[in-house]
C-alpha cells in the first residue's frame, strides 16, 4: 500500500508548478491602470493578482466557494492536554450539521458552502447531508507512547484530501477554504512545527481551547516527550506527519496539495490548517504560491509557521477557534481583491485625469 | 446664523449618551455561553457586543447598510500639495455614478448602498441617481493664506451630515459607513490632527495620493504655515475644523454626530474619515463608543488619530484610497460579529459538553 500511495502522491506533487509570470504580469498591468493613486488599494490588489495567476485567467470570477472542515480525534487527549473531553469532537460535528456553529454562521456570511469531513472521528455518524464520512481510522494513537499514525494511514488521509480537491474541481469550485475540528489538535500542530523548525516546544505551544498554566506545562512536556520518543525526521515530511500529526491535519495537507494541482486557490484557516500547509509545502514548496493565509492565530506557533511559509496573514482579530472560521472571512477578502481587479474602471475607461502618483 | 446653528448642534451633541451597560452585559452573557472555547472568536465577539449596545437590542439584525461618501474641493491644492489636479474630484464623482470606482465595487461586495454627497465640489453636477447635491461652498479657501472655512460654513457642513444621519434613521439603515473624495484632503486631515495632538506636521503627514519627496516637504511646510497663520484653538474643535479642515471632513463629522444621536453604529474609513471622527469626539467624547475603525491607513498620522480616539482598527491591508473602501470591508466584518452573537448556538442549545476553558 505505502509504495503505491506514495507513487500516486508524488505524481500529484510533480504536477504542481510555480505560478505563470505571464498571468501575474497581465494582472499587474490592469491594476496599474485603475483610476486610483498607484497601488492605493494595497494588499487587495495583490490578492487579485495572485488569484488570477493561480486560475490562469486575467479576468477571473469567484462564483462557487467551499470550505472543507476535517474532523478527527486524537489519542494524545488521554494525556490530559485539552480543556475539553474527547466526545466534543463528535458533538461539534452534530452542531455543524445543525448549522449553529461558528463555521456555519461565517460560511453563510461569506457565501461559502461548508462540507464537513469525518476523516477520523471515534464515532459512527448516521448519514447526514453535508457530512462526508471518509474515515481513515477512529482517531490517532497517543503520540506520547507511539507514533500517532502509520505512514500508510498518513498517506491514506492525504489521499482523502486530494480526492476532495478533485471533487471540488469537478464541481466548479473557484476557491477553497480549510477548516478543522478535533479536540486535542493544537498538540500535534505544535509538535509538527517544533519538528520542522527545530524549535523548543515551549516556543510553539499555547493554550489551545483555553487550558490553565498547569495543563500548558503538561502539554509542553507531552510534546517534548513525543518528539524524543518518535524522532520524526524533518527531512521526511511524511514521517513528521505520521508520527506526531493528526488525521485532519493530513486531510488538510492533501486538500491543499490537490487544490494546487487543480489550480484552485486555497485560503488556509489558523494554526491547525497551517500545520497541514507546512507539511504540504515541505513536500513541494511551489504550493505556497497557491495559498492565502486568512489570519494570525492567538497560538504563538502560528507566526513561526507563517514565517516558514513566507505568508502574511490577511487579518488579526484574535481568533483561535478553528473550524475554518478565519478561512470564511479570508475567502471574502480575497474575493474583494478579485473584484478590484475585474470590476473597477481604468483611468481611460472612467475618463479620469491621470496624476503623477508614483508612490 | 452661527448662533442658531451652534445651538442646534449642541442639542444633538447633548442627546448622545454613553452606551447602556445593561445591553453590553446582556450580549456578553450570551457570548459567554456559545458552544466554543471561551472568547475564542476574539474581537468578532466584541463587535457584536458593541453593536447590540448601540442599538439597545440584544439580538440585532443588520439588514440595511449604507455608505455616505462626501466629495469636496480644497483651496490648498493651489499650493501644489497633491499628485492629482483639482478636476479629479469631480471626475471621480462621475466615476462613482458609473459604478466603476473602488467604493462601488466594495460597496456592492459588502451589500452596502453608496450615497455620494456633493458637499463642496467646484462643479455643477447634473441631476444623477445616487448623488445628493448639498453644496455648502465650491470648495474651501486656501488655508495657507486664510481660514479654509468660516465658522458658519463649518457648522452648515456639519448640519448636512446630521441631516443625512436622520435620513438614514428614517430609512431604517442599520449601519453607516463614511467615505471621502477630495483632491488635497490629506493636507487638512494632517493639519487637524497636528492641531489637536500638538504634533509637529512632519510626524502626521504622509504622501497622500503618492507625492514625491520634494512635494512631501512642501506639503509639510504648507501645513506648518497654515497652522502658524490661522492659529486654530485645539480647545475649540469647530475653530480647528473651520480654519484648517475641509467641507467633506465637516460633513463626515456631522454624519458621525447625527448617527450617534440616532444610535446607528458608524464604521469610519481611513485617514480623512478619522479626521472627521476626531473633531466629532472632541465635541462629545461618548461618540467614540458608537464607532468602529475599519482599517489602519498607510498615512502615518492615522495611528495618532486612532490612539487619540482609543480605537483599534479592524484590519490593515495597506489601503490609502479613501472613498469609503475600507469602511465597506469593515461593515461586513462588524456584521460577521453581529451574526456570531445572534446566529450561533450555545452549549445548551447545541448539546455540546462544556469544557473547562478559562482563557
Whole-angstrom distance, CA of residue B47 vs CA of residue B33: 17
Q: Mapping DSSP to helix (H, G, I), strand (E, B) and coil, where does residue B316 land?
A: coil
Take residue A129 and report the three cell numbers written for it: 447531508
Whether pLDDT at A358 is above 70: no
Ordered alpha helix ranges (H), B231-324:
237-244, 247-261, 271-283, 301-309
For B11-52, the pLDDT digits (tens) are: 999 999 999 999 999 999 999 999 999 999 999 999 999 999
For A282-302, the pLDDT digits (tens) are: 999 999 999 999 999 999 999
Query: Nearest CA to CA, how far is B236 from chain A (Å)?
Result: 33
Ordered alpha helix ranges (H), chain B:
2-14, 21-33, 42-55, 88-98, 102-110, 151-170, 186-197, 213-230, 237-244, 247-261, 271-283, 301-309, 325-343, 347-350
**All structural domains of chain B with their residue ranges:** 2-59+342-350, 65-333
Whole-angstrom distance, CA of residue A20 vs CA of residue A18: 6
Q: Tell me which residues of chain A, numbers 78 to 107, contact chain B at a CB-CB cutoff of 8 Å.
A: 82-85, 87-88, 91-92, 94-95, 98, 100-102, 104-106
What is the per-residue pLDDT for B356? Answer: 74
Helix (H), strand (E) at residue A190: helix A186-197
Task: Please tell me if the domain spanning A2-59+342-350 has the same topology as the one spanning A65-333.
Answer: no
Instruction: Tell me the percentage of chain A whose pLDDT exceeds 70.
Output: 99
Per-residue CA distances from A316 to A35, A177, B16, B143 (Å): 29, 17, 31, 39
The residue-averaged pLDDT of A234-245 equals: 98
Residue of chain A minimizing CA distance to B98: A350
For A157-216, the pLDDT digits (tens) are: 999 999 999 999 999 999 999 999 999 999 999 999 999 999 999 999 999 999 999 999
For A253-287, the pLDDT digits (tens) are: 999 999 999 999 999 999 999 999 999 999 999 99
Whether pLDDT at A347 is above 80: yes
For residue A3, what pLDDT band results from cuts at 50, 70 and 90?
confident
Question: Which architecture does CATH list for B65-333?
Answer: 3-Layer(aba) Sandwich (3.40)
Answer CATH for B2-59+342-350 from 3.40.47.10, 1.10.1610.10, 1.10.357.10, 1.10.3720.10: 1.10.1610.10
What is the value of ipTM here, to two decimals? 0.97
Q: Which of B42, B351, B353 sits opposite A320 (nearest CB)?
A: B42
Interface residue A59 vs chain B (CB under 8 A): no
Whole-angstrom distance, CA of residue A194 vs CA of residue A189: 9
Q: Which of B40, B106, B208 sits opposite A321 (nearest CB)?
A: B40
Take residue A247 and report the three cell numbers written for it: 488525521
Bigger pLDDT: A356 vs B91: B91
The helix, strand and coil proportions of chain A, stated in percent and rounded to the nearest 5, come to 55, 10, 35
Q: Which of A32, A300, A327, A357 to mutate to test the interface with B (most CBs of B within 10 A)?
A: A357
For B174-203, the pLDDT digits (tens) are: 999 999 999 999 999 999 999 999 999 999
Interface residue B302 vs chain A (CB under 8 A): no
A-B Cβ pairs (cutoff 8 Å, strict): 218
Interface residue A63 vs chain B (CB under 8 A): no
The residue-averaged pLDDT of A98-127 equals: 98
Whole-angstrom distance, CA of residue A344 vs CA of residue A41: 11
Q: Tell me which residues of chain A, numbers 279 to 298, contact chain B at a CB-CB cutoff of 8 Å.
A: 298
Q: What contacts B212, CB < 8 A, 6 or more positions away?
A: A356, A358
The DSSP letter of residue B64 is -
What is the per-residue pLDDT for A205? Answer: 97
The residue-averaged pLDDT of A93-111 equals: 98
Interface residue A123 vs chain B (CB under 8 A): no
For residue A52, what pLDDT band results from cuts at 50, 70 and 90?
very high
Q: List per-residue pLDDT tens for chain B, 359 residues long.
A: 568 999 999 999 999 999 999 999 999 999 999 999 999 999 999 999 999 999 999 999 999 999 999 999 999 999 999 999 999 999 999 999 999 999 999 999 999 999 999 999 999 999 999 999 999 999 999 999 999 999 999 999 999 999 999 999 999 999 999 999 999 999 999 999 999 999 999 999 999 999 999 999 999 999 999 999 999 999 999 999 999 999 999 999 999 999 999 999 999 999 999 999 999 999 999 999 999 999 999 999 999 999 999 999 999 999 999 999 999 999 999 999 999 999 999 999 999 998 776 54
For A118-140, the pLDDT digits (tens) are: 999 999 999 999 999 999 999 99
Q: Which of B88, B98, B353 sits opposite A353 (nearest CB)?
A: B88
B84 interaction partners in chain A (CB closer than 8 Å): 37, 353, 355-357
Residue of chain B minimizing CA distance to A47: B317
Which residue's C-alpha cell is 482523502?
A: A160
Q: Which of B34, B317, B357 sits opposite A210 (nearest CB)?
A: B357
Amino acid at each position: 500500500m505505502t509504495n503505491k500511495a506514495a507513487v500516486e502522491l508524488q505524481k500529484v506533487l510533480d504536477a504542481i508548478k510555480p505560478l505563470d509570470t505571464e498571468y501575474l504580469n497581465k494582472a499587474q498591468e490592469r491594476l496599474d491602470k485603475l483610476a486610483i493613486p498607484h497601488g492605493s488599494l494595497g494588499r487587495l490588489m495583490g490578492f487579485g493578482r495572485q488569484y488570477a495567476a493561480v486560475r490562469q485567467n486575467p479576468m477571473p470570477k469567484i462564483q462557487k466557494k467551499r470550505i472543507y472542515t476535517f474532523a478527527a480525534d486524537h489519542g494524545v487527549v488521554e494525556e490530559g492536554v485539552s480543556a475539553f473531553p474527547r466526545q466534543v469532537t463528535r458533538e461539534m460535528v452534530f452542531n455543524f450539521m445543525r448549522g449553529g456553529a461558528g463555521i456555519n454562521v461565517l460560511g453563510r456570511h461569506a457565501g461559502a458552502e461548508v462540507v464537513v469531513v469525518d476523516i477520523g472521528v471515534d464515532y459512527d455518524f448516521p448519514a447526514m447531508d453535508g457530512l462526508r464520512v471518509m474515515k481513515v481510522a477512529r482517531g490517532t494513537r497517543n503520540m506520547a507512547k507511539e507514533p500517532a499514525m502509520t505512514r500508510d494511514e498518513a498517506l491514506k488521509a492525504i489521499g482523502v484530501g486530494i480526492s476532495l480537491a478533485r471533487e471540488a474541481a469537478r464541481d466548479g469550485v473557484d476557491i477553497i477554504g480549510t477548516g478543522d475540528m478535533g479536540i486535542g489538535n493544537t498538540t500535534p500542530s505544535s509538535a509538527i512545527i517544533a519538528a520542522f523548525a527545530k524549535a523548543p516546544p515551549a516556543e510553539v505551544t499555547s493554550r489551545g481551547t483555553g487550558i490553565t498554566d498547569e495543563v500548558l506545562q503538561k502539554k509542553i512536556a507531552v510534546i517534548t516527550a513525543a518528539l524524543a520518543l518518535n524522532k520524526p525526521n524533518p527531512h521526511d515530511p511524511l514521517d513528521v506527519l505520521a508520527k506526531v500529526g493528526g488525521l485532519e491535519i493530513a486531510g488538510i495537507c492533501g486538500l491543499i496539495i490537490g487544490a494546487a494541482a487543480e489550480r484552485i486557490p486555497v485560503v488556509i484557516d489558523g494554526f491547525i490548517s497551517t500545520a497541514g500547509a507546512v507539511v504540504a509545502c515541505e513536500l513541494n514548496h511551489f504550493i505556497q504560491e497557491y495559498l492565502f493565509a486568512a489570519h494570525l492565530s492567538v497560538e504563538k506557533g502560528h507566526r513561526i509557521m507563517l514565517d516558514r511559509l513566507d505568508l502574511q496573514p490577511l487579518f488579526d482579530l484574535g481568533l483561535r477557534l478553528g473550524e475554518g472560521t478565519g478561512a470564511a472571512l479570508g475567502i471574502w477578502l480575497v474575493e474583494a481583491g478579485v473584484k478590484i481587479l475585474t470590476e473597477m474602471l481604468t483611468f481611460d475607461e472612467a475618463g479620469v485625469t491621470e496624476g503623477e502618483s508614483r508612490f
